[in-house]
Structure 1
Amino acid sequence: MFPKYILVINGRPEGPFGIDELKARKIKPADFVKTPEMPDYKEAQEIAELRELFGFKKPALLMQYFGSFDQRLLASFLDWFIVFGAFVIVIFVVVLLKLQDKETRMTASFGLLACIPFAKIIYHMVMESSAKQATYGKQMLKIKVVDMNGDRITFGKAVARNLCKIFSVLTFFIGYLMAFFNKKQQCLHDMMAGTLVIKERLF
């Protein structure tokens, strides 16, 4: 069963309308719609279900929708904070409270801290290929990772993207700065994996 959509008509939301009612109102690709469950309005052509029903073409990603370098950098700091904080809690609860020997506690603590970079990579792989298409840091900044068509990436592509970050680092971080020099604001690892970071289309 198809959901009902609220339709913006002359600047005012009306509805919700069923699919037949939308057809009767001759909905256009650029009309703004949303279901009660959607957090914000989107153009009708952005919604796969409506594209299929009404024959709308998928809109091209416009330049203003690409995530900026400062958004990505701040999201990265937030993600480091989240992952590091989670490990600190684990170290405190599991290591410091459970282990009595001081030397063992130190060894276990440093061992867990050494795992943080690997945990962060896995965290990115899982979150960026999830339904949210973004880590918690990216979600806070309202940006997400997509493929070159603007669609959700597979886990395999998320793995490739995050492993390719090695090359962005090995170039003395020039791979990250490449985002300043191309229209789609892709870093080197984005180019290699065929991914984009875009802003959520909030209206």
Structure 2
Amino acid sequence: MPQSYILVINGKPEGPFTIPELKARGIKPGDFVKTDDMVDYKEAHEIAELRELFGFARPKLLMQYYGSFDQRWLASALDWFILFGAFVLLAAMAVFLFITDKQARIYTSIGIVAFTPIGKFIYHVVMESSVTQATYGKQMLKIKVVDMDGNRITVGKAIGRNLAKIFSVLTFFIGYLIAFFNKQQQCLHDMIAGTLVIKDRLV
């Protein structure tokens, strides 16, 4: 079924209108529209389908669109909680279902849980380069990772971004704190990889 949009006209929502009907009404980039699936209204130029069909320019990333440090920190904490919990559960299942020796259980549990940082690296690369552009923690906080033009990042860029976190840590975490001192709120690893963390408003 073709997508239809509710259009705000003179401050009031009307429609839904099909794409041809929107075209007939002379829809403008700054007009507010919404589909049944969208939680809130967005300007027409924020929606990829309408940009492509009507030739609207991609909106610039404005200051209010950048993910804040506290959002990023909380998202990271949630991701650690999710990953650590998953590995603890995996370790518990492995040792109690497949291992009977007590000492072997201890070593196996430690080994599986110790793999968490590597698992987290893979998890970040896969999720940040996926269609969601965000880990589960970031999704909960409504933020996502994009390139400098606001586009979805590639797997290669996701790998580079997450490897560059080593430098953010080696600077005694100053690499993270510099997000407070630049207008795009980039951490050191974002600067190295050419990425941004933005609020999940733009499409």
Q: TM-score range by the shorter chain?
A: over 0.9
Q: What is aligned with 1:43? A: 43
Counterpart of 2:117 in structure 1: which amino acid? Answer: P
Cα RMSD, aligned residues only: 1.4
Counterpart of 1:69 in structure 2: which amino acid? Answer: F
Q: What is aligned with 2:5? A: 5
Per-residue CA deviations over 1:82-130 (Å, capped at 9, x if unaligned) read: 0001011111111133211011001101101110000001100001111
Per-residue CA deviations over 1:135-190 (Å, capped at 9, x if unaligned) read: 00001100000010111111111111001101111111110011011000000000
Relative to the length of structure 1, the TM-score reads 0.95
Per-residue CA deviations over 1:43-67 (Å, capped at 9, x if unaligned) read: 1101222112222111100001100
Q: CA deviation at 1:42?
A: 1.7
Segments of 5+ residues of structure 2 without an aligned counterpart are none
Relative to the length of structure 2, the TM-score reads 0.95
Structure 2: distance between partners of 1:193 and 1:159: 9
Per-residue CA deviations over 1:20-44 (Å, capped at 9, x if unaligned) read: 2111211111111122233332211
Structure 2: distance between partners of 1:91 and 1:15: 54
Q: What is aligned with 1:179? A: 179
Structure 2: distance between partners of 1:41 and 1:163: 37
Output aligned runs, 1:78-117, within 5 Å. 78-117=78-117
Output aligned runs, 1:26-37, within 5 Å. 26-37=26-37
- The runs of at least 4 aligned residues of structure 1 exceeding 6 Å deviation read none
Q: Report the 3-state secondary structure (helix = DSSP H, G, I; strand = E; otherwise coil) of the residue aligned with 1:75.
A: helix
Structure 2: distance between partners of 1:158 and 1:91: 28
| Number of matched pairs | 202
Structure 2: distance between partners of 1:21 and 1:150: 29
Q: Report the 3-state secondary structure (helix = DSSP H, G, I; strand = E; otherwise coil) of the residue aligned with 1:8.
A: strand
Segments of 5+ residues of structure 1 without an aligned counterpart are none
Q: What is aligned with 1:76? A: 76
Structure 2: distance between partners of 1:42 and 1:96: 51
Q: What is aligned with 2:128? A: 128
